[in-house]
Amino acid sequence: EQGKSWPTNGKFTLSNKAQKELMKIFLADTDSLQDKRIDEVFSSEFFSSNFWMYWRTMFAFETWHSALEMKLYLHRFIHHIDGLPDFSALKFTKYNQYESLTLPLVKWLSEQGVQFSYDSEVTDVDFANDPHKGTKRAVSFNLLDHQQKRVINLSDDDLLFLTIGSLVDNSDEGDHHTPAQLNKGPAPAWDLWKKIALKDSSFGRPEVFCSNIDQTKWESATITTLDERIPRYIEKISHRNPYSGRVVTGGIVTATDSSWLLSWTVNRQPHFKNQPKDQIVVWFYGLYNDVPGDYVGKTLQESTGEEIVQEWLYHMGVPEDEIAELAATGAQCVPVMMPYVTSFFMPRKHTDRPAVVPDGSKNFAFIGQFAQSATRDCIFTTEYSVRTAMESVYSLLGIERGVPEVYNSTFDVRVLLGAAHSLADGQKAKLPGGHFSKGWLDRKFKHTEIVRLLKESELL
């Protein structure tokens, strides 16, 4: 409440019922969770736990999102469960991801002769099927290049890799005095996938992901501090000097009593290479975009950058008589509304996303978050997109090389027992029969690995 910390003490506060629900979804097969929402497999006891607060603010899951995807996340990051309360498992690049990852990659690819075409839009792709051979081939695609229409024909030696769907399609930036706008109009990336999907039932169902903007949108913002008084409040909450050159918050700070359920994070500064040394760049977002704020009285979606800063400062504990002045002159805020940013979390079937290389494909593949990879990775990771690219290249070119698997923690009984210990907030396993059954267990399994593992994980 207004800059005061909520002492979670690293606890998950999962009731026995909630722990059983979590275990049930972990053990369920993925087929049984197709098209199911998270709130269809968990009760109110689960949603009132600290675990859900950590989870939703870390990954931006909502109750109406996919139970199947939540299961995949549990398996993927089970070895990091004990680090969820303080986000100690997070790793950060030195600078922002664009300067740290994207620019070096673009530079290297350009040096290898790769040509990038900007201000261009692919509007359609044509395919040809051979029913006798059971093969499919991409034969051409339509391109809007600097507003000029072109058709690019593909030869037998060409390969076409399609990134379908987009998390940032139709995103809109506001500024310190202008709210970001929600653009529900034509969306080029989604419109392309819709055209492609009509041509073959194996090319997925984009409407599953993009047809409910109210459930896939949320707004984020960057706040750049210009007044040295604001970083003092950041330091008060993070207990770290924002100017030290080290990671500041270590993860996401959430105002749990915020009507917007606002969160913010500060990575190591400077966040941009050319950033002035006396400025701090903050990333901010809210999961509830359509609820009036506690200070500004407007929804996040309606708010200007200045009003977003006001709401943030209020929940940071800044005295109310200083908020208006600090928000007006002490920071600059750029809000961004993203209509489809959680679209990949929508409840789905396996077949709603096309296979990376559809059956019979000779020269085309689907890559990115909306392609169904054969690996066990979850979406919204850089690795998922990289693996779909590897899978597509190795398959189409017949390269005998396996796509690297994700970390196999979900098959390590030591990790699973450790996670069970953490999720139970360190409580010992309660055996039916109390001391009698514990004595029987000790005698029966005293010299086995079972008891040793249970005791190492502090479950016994």
Q: Which backbone phi and psi does 136 adopt, to 5 degrees? A: -130, 140
What b/e string do you get for 402-423 counting C-beta neighbours within 10 Å, with b at 16 or more?
Answer: ebeebbebbeeeebbbbbbbbb
* Alpha-carbon gap, residue 49 to 39, rounded angstroms: 14
The tokens for 41 are: 């497999």
9 pLDDT above the threshold of 80? no
Give me the pLDDT at residue 434, please: 63
On the question of pLDDT at 444 being above 90, the answer is no
Q: Mean pLDDT, to the nearest integer, of 419-428?
A: 86
Q: Whose CA is closest to 210, among 17, 387, 339, 38?
A: 339
Is residue 277 pLDDT above 80, yes or no? yes
Per-residue pLDDT tens over the stretch 71-126: 999 999 999 888 887 777 777 889 999 999 999 999 999 999 999 999 899 999 99
Q: CATH 3.30.9.80 residue ranges in the chain?
A: 218-338
Rounded distance between C-alpha atoms, residue 62 and residue 345, angstroms:
9
Which range among 55-64, 381-390, 419-428, 431-440 shows the weakest confidence by mean pLDDT?
A: 431-440
Query: Is the pLDDT at 314 greater than 60, yes or no?
Result: yes
Residues 16 and 50: their CA atoms lie apart, in Å, by: 14
How far is residue 187 from each of residues 165, 169, 305, measured CA to CA in Å?
Answer: 9, 6, 25
What CA–CA distance (Å, rounded) separates 450 from 321?
A: 61
Give the separation between CA 47 and CA 70, rounded to whole angstroms: 14
Please state, rounded to an integer, the average pLDDT across all residues of the chain.
Answer: 92
Q: Which pLDDT score, from 0 to 100, does residue 430 have?
A: 66
* Tokens coding 297: 């009285």
Instruction: Record the tokens describing residue 391, joined without a space.
Output: 């899978």
- Tell me how far apart the alpha carbons of residues 204 and 194 are, in angstroms, rounded to a whole number: 9
Per the CB < 8 A criterion, the answer to whether 248 and 232 are in contact is no
Q: Helix/strand/coil (H, E, C) string of 40-87?
A: HCCCHHHHCCHHHHHHHHHHCCCCCCEHHHHHHHHHHCHHHHHHCCCC
Could you tell me where the beta strands, DSSP code E, fall in 227-318?
A: 253-254, 262-265, 281-286
- Model confidence over 387-396: pLDDT tens digits? 999 999 999 9
**pLDDT, tens digit (0-9, with 9 covering 90-100), for 173-226:** 999 999 999 999 999 999 999 999 999 999 999 999 999 999 999 999 999 999
In the chain, CATH 3.50.50.60 covers: 97-213+342-396
Residue 432 clears pLDDT 60, i.e. is over it: yes
The helix (run of H) or strand (run of E) holding residue 326 is: helix 320-329
176-185, 250-259, 351-360: which has the minimum mean pLDDT? 250-259
Residue 5 has what pLDDT? 64
Task: Answer yes or no: is pLDDT of 34 > 70.
Answer: yes
User: Counting Cβ atoms within 10 Å, is residue 333 exposed (0-12), middle (13-18) or buried (19+)?
Assistant: buried
Fold of the CATH domain 218-338: D-Amino Acid Oxidase; Chain A, domain 2 (3.30.9)
- 201, 213 Cβ separation under 8 angstroms: no
Whole-angstrom distance, CA of residue 374 vs CA of residue 372: 7
In which residue are the tokens 């100017």 written?
Answer: 243
What is the pTM (predicted TM-score) of this model? 0.91
Give the C-alpha separation, 432 to 36, whole Å.
Answer: 33
pLDDT at residue 1 above 60? no
CB 120 within 8 A of CB 143: yes
Q: Tell me the one-letter amino acid at 80.
A: H
CA–CA dist 266, 117 (Å, integer):
34
For residue 361, give the DSSP letter.
B
| CATH superfamily of domain region 97-213+342-396 | FAD/NAD(P)-binding domain (3.50.50.60)
Count Cβ atoms below 10 Å from residue 389 Cβ, excluding itself: 18
